[in-house]
Chain A
Amino acid sequence: MDRSPGQSSRWLACSRALLGLIALGWELSCAAPIRASDASPRGHTFELEVGGGLYQLRDEGVAPLRWAGPAGQLGLRYVHAGRRARHQAGLRVPVAFLSNRYEHGGLGWEFGLGYQYLHRLGSARRAGPGGAFYLGAGYGFRLAVQELDWDVSHYQYLNAHELDAAVRWERPLGDHAIFVQASAALIALVGRPPAQRHYDETLAHYQFTESHENLVFTGPHEYPSITVELGYLIPLGRRWRLGTSYRLDSRNYFGERPIRILDQTLVLCVAYSPWMGAHR
């Protein structure tokens, strides 16, 4: 087949890229696995999470009923770990298919953005037999939306800006590692904005504009919000890790139009550390 000069150069570029990818894959699969004591490698790590689990809610503003159903979750997380500090930023989007005991359906979805700063306590050199312990704080924006086939004409919202306290503990188990991470809201701006009527045909940006109406400054007495994650890490290569974890996310708002949300997810996570720092 004859190729024009432009086509040839594109073909060459593609071939080189393909060879590069093969070489990269070979390097990753043959490189020495990460050691368990390096469960928290320094440098940059990008994580992609997929999860599935059970999502439950009770929205007293609609009806005092439990709505529950399977949920899927997508998440992205960026971690930058140094000798003493660990920065985590992430995005999480769960979508749940709900029903109540009267077999009414519903849909719940969330948009969660967060950042956490964790400071390592004790020796910064290596995780000892007791593991490494981190303490820190974070900020989270959480928007939960429900459309429940009970109240025919409304979307319901729970909107929260949280300042969290966070802890993390990780410990090597042979080549693998286990970690526990938890956070709890200390103070928060929480709102249950007016239910959005379908027939109002409000624009899509309602969720990020008017949903910020009626924010109330509150604390754990009115807005207990905790996230606990228990996970297990398996090294796959020099830069890759596979993780599995159980995450429990519980939020309760006891103010006007109380609502409770309990999200339990089994997460599968693939982590990639492209520019991993030296282990000292």
Chain B
Amino acid sequence: MNRRMERPATAGALLAVLACSACLADNPLKLPVNMVPELVDGDWPVSSPEAEGMDEAAVRTAYERFFSENAYVTGLSLLVVRHGKLLAEGYTRSTDDRDVPRNIQSVTKGHTALLVGIALEHGHFEGLDQPLHDVVPEDFGPNAGATSAKLEITLGHLLTMRSGLAYPPDDFTQELHRDRTRGQMAHILRRPLATVPGEAFEYKDCDPQLLSGALRAATGMAMHDYAADVLWAPLGVRNVFWETNVDGDAWGAQALYLRPRDLAKIGQLLVSGGLWRGERIVDQAWINALIEPQHKAPPPPEGFEQAPGFGMMWWVAPERGGVYGRGTAGQYLAAYPELDLVIVQTAEPYADDIGGYFAGPGSGSFMDLANALVLAIGEP
């Protein structure tokens, strides 16, 4: 090859080498399996699966599945609590996530229901049959299109998602999360009725949002301030954050940010009948009412498992008398009072429900994990 041809050929070869040489690393998405909880002052007491009557190998198998690169892809944390002790705790991306509050999405609804119960116990509400109109009459004002039927919406209807208001969750998110005009309670109540209040269950976000406004009117405090006083402080909840709407009301259906360990404390209230370390936080009767199935659950949205029933903002689990809250993109809190067992799973809160959380071969659902952990206890 003569020199005139050598030069372009050399330059071309050099370019090709350079083009192939620079690549960003595509490391594993998750850490190696970690499941041993760390004792932190003032937080959960820790234990081990064996000490709390669970098969350690079965628990580890569940964690190995959760830490797989091809299943639970957007999963962030998995916690197991039994007998009031944290016996397994794993974080897939960073162990620092232990102290990071993240959006628990629609698990927020169950938290809102707990607050309503506390407000009932404190006498801020008269009872579940109290009409919403009694609590927030101004929001049913002349421009709210208040029909006599709407005046019949009760707190109980809102807790069981039977207000009858026609307001699909997607529309709610689209409209209210970007709406900069005040008076969102009245805006919701201006929606037409699809069914007579109390008649039909329809899963939606507007009912818990009306509860948020009702709590403000009844207690004189915004729901997040009320929660800080009556729930978070006694539970020792840390770094909590709750997004609010333009009226300053916390979103009743979503956007509560909790650490996974603090989410587990909410579950512990459900399994212990409202007690936290011997102190009563929520009335036992209210806990029983929350988790009692009110009606058969409808077919779930794509990507979610079918639940046998729905209580007051809590879904009924198919196994062993459990209940659970579930939120978009893989947020779960399951409580099994019979087994004194709490399971928390969190995932990237804004990931694609289907493409993210369930991506890859061998993917599974939260219920697969929860059932495996329940079976790790064995038959009583």
**Residues of the A chain whose Cβ atoms lie less than 8 Å from the Cβ of B19:** 53-54, 246, 264, 266
How many residues on A have C-beta within 8 angstroms of the other chain's C-beta atoms?
A: 36
B4, B74, B174, B353: the one within 8 Å of A174 (CB): B4
- Is the pair B74, A63 in contact by a Cβ cutoff of 8 Å? yes
- Is the pair A262, B22 in contact by a Cβ cutoff of 8 Å? yes
Cβ contacts B16-30/A at 8 Å (1 or 0 each): 001100111111010
Given contacts A152-B350, A266-B15, list 8 more A-B pairs with CB under 8 A: A54-B19, A63-B74, A102-B355, A102-B359, A104-B355, A152-B352, A246-B15, A260-B24
Within 112-160 of A, Cβ neighbours of B (below 8 Å) are at 149-154
Query: With A63-B74, A150-B355, A150-B356 known to touch, is A200 a contact of B23 (CB < 8 Å)?
Result: no
How far in angstroms is the closest Cβ of chain B from A152? 5
Query: Chain B interface secondary structure, helix, strand, loop or mixed?
Result: loop
Closest 7 CB pairs of A and B: A66-B26, A246-B15, A56-B24, A102-B359, A152-B352, A151-B350, A66-B24
- Is the pair A150, B18 in contact by a Cβ cutoff of 8 Å? no
B14, B24, B93, B356: the one within 8 Å of A230 (CB): B14
Within 165-179 of B, Cβ neighbours of A (below 8 Å) are at 173-174, 177-178
Within 1-47 of B, Cβ neighbours of A (below 8 Å) are at 4, 7-8, 11, 14-15, 18-19, 22-27, 29
- Is the pair A66, B25 in contact by a Cβ cutoff of 8 Å? yes
**Residues of the A chain whose Cβ atoms lie less than 8 Å from the Cβ of B359:** 102, 104
Within 98-114 of A, Cβ neighbours of B (below 8 Å) are at 101-102, 104
Within 186-200 of A, Cβ neighbours of B (below 8 Å) are at 197, 199-200
Asked if B89 is an interface residue, CB under 8 A from chain A, the answer is no
Asked if A178 is an interface residue, CB under 8 A from chain B, the answer is yes
Within 214-272 of A, Cβ neighbours of B (below 8 Å) are at 230, 232, 246, 248, 250, 260, 262, 264, 266
- Is the pair A64, B23 in contact by a Cβ cutoff of 8 Å? no
**Residues of the B chain whose Cβ atoms lie less than 8 Å from the Cβ of A54:** 19
Q: How far is the CA of A63 from the CA of B76 in the complex (A)?
A: 11
**Chain B residue with the shortest CB-CB distance to A244:** B15
Query: With A57-B24, A154-B350, A248-B18 known to touch, is A64 a contact of B178 (CB < 8 Å)?
Result: no
Within 53-106 of B, Cβ neighbours of A (below 8 Å) are at 73-74, 93
Query: With A174-B4, A250-B22, A264-B19 known to touch, is A64 a contact of B350 (CB < 8 Å)?
Result: no
**Residues of the B chain whose Cβ atoms lie less than 8 Å from the Cβ of A178:** 11
**Residues of the A chain whose Cβ atoms lie less than 8 Å from the Cβ of B73:** 102
- Is the pair A64, B29 in contact by a Cβ cutoff of 8 Å? yes
Q: How far is the CA of A64 from the CA of B73 in the complex (A)?
A: 11
Cβ contacts B186-200/A at 8 Å (1 or 0 each): 000000000000000
- Is the pair B348, A151 in contact by a Cβ cutoff of 8 Å? yes
Asked if B360 is an interface residue, CB under 8 A from chain A, the answer is yes
**Chain A residue with the shortest CB-CB distance to B26:** A66
How far in angstroms is the closest Cβ of chain B from A153? 6
- Is the pair A63, B29 in contact by a Cβ cutoff of 8 Å? yes
B8, B25, B178, B360: the one within 8 Å of A199 (CB): B178
Cβ contacts A38-71/B at 8 Å (1 or 0 each): 0000000000000001101110000111101000
How many residues on B have C-beta within 8 angstroms of the other chain's C-beta atoms?
A: 31
- Is the pair B22, A232 in contact by a Cβ cutoff of 8 Å? no
**Chain B residue with the shortest CB-CB distance to A176:** B7
Asked if B297 is an interface residue, CB under 8 A from chain A, the answer is no
Pull 10 A–B residue pairs with CB atoms less than 8 Å apart, ordered by A: A53-B19, A63-B29, A66-B25, A153-B350, A173-B7, A232-B11, A246-B15, A248-B18, A264-B19, A264-B22
- Is the pair B8, A64 in contact by a Cβ cutoff of 8 Å? no
Asked if A201 is an interface residue, CB under 8 A from chain B, the answer is yes
How far in angstroms is the closest Cβ of chain B from A147? 13
- Is the pair A65, B18 in contact by a Cβ cutoff of 8 Å? no
**Residues of the B chain whose Cβ atoms lie less than 8 Å from the Cβ of A57:** 24
**Chain B residue with the shortest CB-CB distance to A104:** B355
Q: How far is the CA of A149 from the CA of B350 in the complex (A)?
A: 11
Q: How far is the CA of A266 from the CA of B12 in the complex (A)?
A: 11
**Residues of the B chain whose Cβ atoms lie less than 8 Å from the Cβ of A200:** 177-178
**Residues of the B chain whose Cβ atoms lie less than 8 Å from the Cβ of A104:** 352, 355-356, 359
Asked if B351 is an interface residue, CB under 8 A from chain A, the answer is yes
Q: How far is the CA of A149 from the CA of B352 in the complex (A)?
A: 7
How far in angstroms is the closest Cβ of chain B from A54? 7
Q: How far is the CA of A197 from the CA of B350 in the complex (A)?
A: 10
**Chain A residue with the shortest CB-CB distance to B8:** A232
How far in angstroms is the closest Cβ of chain B from A247? 10
How far in angstroms is the closest Cβ of chain B from A250? 7
- Is the pair B355, A56 in contact by a Cβ cutoff of 8 Å? no
**Residues of the B chain whose Cβ atoms lie less than 8 Å from the Cβ of A264:** 18-19, 22
Q: How far is the CA of A54 from the CA of B351 in the complex (A)?
A: 26
